[in-house]
Structure formats: C-alpha cells, structure tokens
Amino acid sequence: MGELGLNKIFGALLATALGVFALQTLSGIVFSGGSEGAHHGDEHAEAASMTEQMCEKFAYCVEVADAGGTGGEAEEVFDLGLLLASADIARGERTFKGKCATCHTIDQGGANGTGPNLHDVVGADKAAHAGFAYSAVLEGMDGEWSYANLNDWLYNPSSYARGTTMSFAGLRRDDDRVNVIAYLASNTTNAPAFPEPLAASGEEGDAVEAALPADGVDDMENPTLATGEVETVDAVDGTGPNDGDVGETVTIPDSVAEAVEESADAAEEAAEEAFEEAAPTATEEEGE
C-alpha cells in the first residue's frame, strides 16, 4: 500500500470522525437540559437563555423556547369537596367530644352552654340560634354557615372573626376539621349537599403525554436527529440526561439537520472508496 493510499484512508477516517462528532454535538444540544448553565449560575447574576448559549457556542443560532414554571414546586390545592366526600364521621364525633363538647351541645333541643347548641348549624344564618348572646362581631356578620365558612371558622376562629369571645385555637389539621364538619352535617336536618370536588386539570398530563413517543418510552440513549420542534423529556424510569428535569423545546432548522447528515454520509462514502482503492484485490495477491 502506497503513501497516497494511506493518506486517503487517514483523510477518510478524519472526515468520518468529524461527522460523528458533529452529530453528537447537535444531539447533545437537543437533549441537554441546560446543565452547564446550572454549574456556572453562581458566576453570573442572570443565567443566559438557551438561545444565547447557542449563539455563543456556534456560528448559527437555534431558537430555544424557555420552559416556564418548571423550577418551583407545585402548589398544594385544598379541595374541600373532595375531603368531605371521604370524611370519617365517627372520627369527627370523637374530635367534637374532645375539642368542642365542653362548650357546645349538638343534640336536637340541647341547651346552650358557653357556646350555642350546634344542631342544624350547617347552612344556618350566622349568630341565629335562639336564646344565645353572641359577640358583637358575629352579630354583625352576614351570610350563613356554609361548608367553606365553617372550614375557615374552625381553622382559626379569632382570625375569621376578629374580636370574637370564643377562646378556641382552632383545628389546624385538615382531616380533623373536615371530619368535624361532616359530623355537624350529620346532625343537621336536610343538610346542604357537599360541594363538588375541584375539576382536575389535565394540562400538565397532556403535555407530558404529547412529549413521549407513541409507545410511551423515550429512548434517551439512542436519540435521532429530527427537524422541527422537539421537546426533550427524561426517560420513563427517571434516568435521563436531566435527572428528572423537563428539558427544553428546541427548533432545529432543516438546513442544519440536512447539512450534518450529508456530511456524515459523504465521510462514510469517502472512507469506503479509500479502502477499496488502497486495499489489494485477491487477484493481485495471487499474482504476487
């Protein structure tokens, strides 16, 4: 094999390596979650956007859509209707006897104590029980004891009605409070229906489902180069390049993808041709 043949092989291998490197680099851009920016976040007052990082590193810019709202924790929603639907009336009775019975009776026709009798209280007007002297602040309150109002009142009476003479710290645990409300409803004639549970929002679930392939598996180990908008997510098992973080939505220009693929194809063809020219044929070996 002559020196020219060796040079052709070396050149073809170098071109192939460059093409593969270009593919890996562009794939890394698509499937990275901006981890590099996280490492250098302490050095900059404001982290550069994905688009700015792309423009700094490469001669062309790829527009990257920022993923908003992914850094904070999801706010827990208090669903009174859902909790009441699964409330334990027996536990509510025990809590009532332990926390409320020293001041209130609940049986029909029961006497007032330090506080008014609470039979039929759910849905009743505030400060409306006959024969009990309410504080001025409750006397001046409009409205009825709806489930929502009872929940707020029992959570912290002094905060709900500032100036109330009721010296009760409140029921801060959601399950205790909801169970007591359900118990009050069970001792109310024709009590109002429990409020409906909050409507479940499917936007987040729809977004994740849309990002995954049809088979539900995101193969992050073997990414393929695609044009258009690609939203990167972690693998189903939780192992991905972002370690649980939702990735970025990246728009890859058709021209970039085609140029990289053509470069890789050309490099592969050049390597094959170089080997064919430099390698001796079987006939030549027999002749030698």
Percent of all residues in the chain with a pLDDT value above 70, rounded to a whole number: 53
CA–CA gap between residue 244 and residue 206 (Å, rounded) = 18
Are 126 and 46 part of one and the same domain?
Answer: no
**Cα dihedral sign, 129-131-134-140:** positive
Instruction: Grade residue 110 by pLDDT with cuts at 50, 70 and 90.
Output: very high
Token look-up 């085609």 returns: 258
Are 69 and 84 part of one and the same domain?
Answer: no
Are 138 and 173 part of one and the same domain?
Answer: yes
CA–CA gap between residue 195 and residue 147 (Å, rounded) = 8
pLDDT of residue 15: 77
Residue 196 falls inside a structural domain: no
What's the mean pLDDT in 68-96?
84
Residue 117 has pLDDT above 90, yes or no: yes
pLDDT of residue 250: 54
Q: Which residues pair with 250 in a beta bridge?
A: 64, 230
Residue 128 falls inside a structural domain: yes
Number of domains in the chain: 2
Residue 41 has pLDDT above 60, yes or no: no
Residue 197 falls inside a structural domain: no
Give per-residue pLDDT as tens, 136-152.
999 999 999 999 999 99
Are 13 and 91 part of one and the same domain?
Answer: no
What's the mean pLDDT in 99-112?
94
Residue where a domain terminates, one of 156, 186, 216: 186
Residue 195 falls inside a structural domain: no
pLDDT of residue 12: 78
DSSP conformational letter for 79:
-
CATH number at residue 127: 1.10.760.10
Are 220 and 248 part of one and the same domain?
Answer: yes
Pairing status of strand 228-231 against strand 64-65: unpaired
Residue pair 253/62 in contact (Cβ under 8 Å)? The answer is yes
